[in-house]
A and B are shown apart, each in its own frame.
Chain A
Amino acid sequence: MSPDLAGYIAEREQILNGLRGVLIDRMRLRREPDEIDPDAPLFGAGFALDSLDAVELVVCLDTMFGVNLPDNALLRQHMRSLNTLVDLVLAYRRGHVAL
């Protein structure tokens, strides 16, 4: 595995684990971290988060990762799974996000 790929994976895992911690500590999801699959749906089925959890997630993205999101309906597309949130954080860090 190339160093670039290994570095990218390590960065994804670091963000993913941080977000898993948010679900467990802030949203009281009764799961072990490795039970929280990165592509599992966050809302509706899956972890069944609600609108209050969505607000909490926005706050945590700001405080933990410096991702400052506007109150925008388009945010929904990034709150589908932990992987889509990780994509968002990475894009924000690289200056690719225009929300």
Chain B
Amino acid sequence: MKKKYLSTGNEACAEGAVRAGCRFYAGYPITPQNELIAYMSRRMEEKKGVFIQAESELAAVNMVFGAAVAGARAMTSSSSPGISLKQEGISYLAGCELPAVIVNVMRAGPGLGSISAAQGDYFQATKGGGHGDYHIIVLAPASVQEMFDLTYDAFALADKYRIPVMMLSDGMLGQMMEPLEFDAEIKPSGVINKPWALTGAKGREAQSIKSLWLGEGALERHNEKLQEKYRSIAKTEVKAEAYKTDNAEVIIVAYGTPGRMARACVDRLAEKGVKAGLVRPITLWPFPHETLRRLAQGTTKFLVVEMSAGQMVEDVRLAVQDDSRVSFYGRAGGGVPLNEEIIRRAAEAVGKKV
């Protein structure tokens, strides 16, 4: 039976993890994700799981590495500066093909920046972040409900592909309260056996987990295997919300907080006689290139809105393949785009004044 709660995004994310069967959490305090770690300190105990407040983000992500080695569903969370510290661990998780969920409740940077919501970590999340040729799956929630739903899905994806999955949220989504609905009896999704996990060599040969490949050509073969996996994920796991995109003369592309703002702008643009649509990527990696490429076949214009100086816009340009039809409106350093400005720029893109 579905039950309704009033929840912050951070707590919805944590509960989504608990319901997905996450039984290991390690983290370190940082604003604006502190509700998440506090919630986990209670819920992991209630579920007989493991909660550790680590000495650093480095230690936290490596504790998660260890838990994943042992076969547990494990998660860590942080906000931008802390996620930078976790990149070493994420690269190792990717290299060792270990499933884990990492939550980034983004704040403004660079450096210590501020605690305001921002989207300046798009490049870091989707283009690698750590060293080496790798990708992680990046999910972008735009509501408290999606903070729960996508985190719940993240664990199944991580296990299915043996890959780290990042929830790329922001301080606004993390801290705001909204109704949250889920089935009180919901069971963990996509639970699979993990014969590769290290639990002791009982009844089988000894196993190892490693990202080090020293033999002639061995690392190249390992990388080819990783790339094959990434191609398969890109083929099957792309997710985006398309709203009023049929016959749209201008399509706004935005994720997370600007994504939900843009949806309201699309309706207001219609009232003003501008046929506008929205594409809201839900997977940022793999990015919905094909969705956009299809929509770009005519003369449709695109307006990318971000809480950054312009990062996702590069992927949109790659998909549209006509820079003259792609414009950008963004605010970096904690600024939030204004609805009026989104509307004005969308209309301007098709030569209209509103």
Tell me, yes or no, whether A binds B. no
A residues near B (Cβ < 8 Å) are none
B residues near A (Cβ < 8 Å) are none
